Structure 1
Amino acid sequence: MRVGVGSTNPVKRSATESALGDLPGASVESVAVASGVSEQPVGEPETVRGAENRAHNILDAGDYDLGVGLEGGVAEVDGADGLFLLMWAAVTDGKRTGLGAGPRLRLPDAIATRVRDGEELGPVMDDVLGMDGVAEKQGAAGALTGGIIDRESALEQAVAGAFGPFVTEFYE
């Protein structure tokens, strides 16, 4: 089974490979595709749409059995104060689509303010941490939890959830 991931970010590819585990015959390839949403998706609907768009666009980019799209965004959450980091994954075969979400992490106020003012979370985290490429490493999830979780493990959970309709019969 050929699985395409709609991003060249190595963390997203690795999260997909980890979610697939030892699934016999599965191979994962990464290809840059458009998300069709803003660089910093805001709200659940835009973040989900970005993941779905990436999953469908990867099928158009090559001969894949399944397309995987992952999208990180920020959103206000009903019943909770603050702005939260969130992650969504979509998996599609072109006919049906599975969705899964990762954890939600409250952003510190200073970071949330900058994101609300229009900055993208990745570069803000690079600035706050004084390093480049946080999104390709531990991600905001790793930084904000002191390494208890990292971006790859958070995305892996989202991808694993999105694979549900393709690995069980419960969604038929």
Structure 2
Amino acid sequence: MKVVLGSTSDSKIQILKDTLQPMSRQNLEISGVEVASGVADQPLDETTTIQGAINRAKNALSKTQGYDFAVGLEGGLHDVVNMGYFLICAAAIYDKTNHLSLGIGGKLQLPVEVSSRVKAGEQFGVVIREYEQKHQTDPQALLLIQALISREKAFKQAIQNAYLAYKNKHHFSQFSSAS
């Protein structure tokens, strides 16, 4: 099975391979291609994050040939009332028949300090790495921080959910023409 990812990130390609290989039970050929997400570099709501994943999948498929489907991955933040920002990861699978399947990973809450600084306009990537430096001696905090930085678990969940929907797409046909 040939899959194209709407990103050239080695870590995202590896996450996709590690997630899809056991689920598909097929030999996978995964390539990455640089595409635009069409959304802000730091999506600050769930809708924008999802749209970024969809755009990446559609742009990847339109830019290549010979692939069974394309995957778009987008990480962003979502503000939950009275709780601050949560990390959200979305995966979109788009195929040659214009079928779109979507998966969303579990949301992980940002520490209050990080969330407040993002709300004030700072970039999450910078803020979380500064936060990591401040908490080098706290192993529990480092587990949370690493999960927020790598996004591996959230992306894996999103990919699993999108692939399950894709393999069962006859149950979701009314959504296949989503934008």
TM-score band, normalised by shorter chain: 0.7 to 0.9
| 1:91 maps to which of 90, 93, 110 | 93
C-alpha separation in 2, matches of 1:57 and 1:43: 21
C-alpha separation in 1, matches of 2:77 and 2:165: 26
Which consecutive residues of structure 2, in runs of 5 or more, have no partner in the other structure? 134-141, 174-179
Higher helix share: 2
Is 1:171 paired with 2:169?
no
Q: Which residue of 2 aligns with 1:103?
A: 106
Is 1:75 paired with 2:78?
yes
Compared CA separation, residues 29 and 83, structure 1 to 2 (3 A): same
Normalised to the residue count of structure 1, the TM-score between the two structures is 0.82
C-alpha separation in 2, matches of 1:74 and 1:101: 12
Q: Is the 8 A contact 1:14 1:152 kept in 2?
A: no
Q: By how many angstroms is 1:28 displaced?
A: 0.8
C-alpha separation in 2, matches of 1:126 and 1:146: 10
Question: Could you tell me the percent identity over the aligned residues?
Answer: 37
Normalised to the residue count of structure 2, the TM-score between the two structures is 0.79
C-alpha separation in 2, matches of 1:83 and 1:74: 6
Q: Tell which deviates more after alignment, 56-65 or 34-43.
A: 56-65
Q: Which has the larger radius of gyration?
A: 2
2:7 aligns to what SS in structure 1? coil
- Give the letter for the 2:71 counterpart: V
Q: Is the 8 A contact 2:90 2:102 kept in 1?
A: yes
Which consecutive residues of structure 1, in runs of 5 or more, have no partner in the other structure? 131-141
Q: Which residue of 2 aligns with 1:112?
A: 115
| 2:44 maps to which of 36, 42, 45 | 42
Q: Is the 8 A contact 1:11 1:151 kept in 2?
A: no
Q: Which residue of 1 aligns with 2:7?
A: 7
1:103 aligns to what SS in structure 2? coil
1:127 aligns to what SS in structure 2? helix
RMSD: 2.3
- Give the letter for the 2:53 counterpart: A
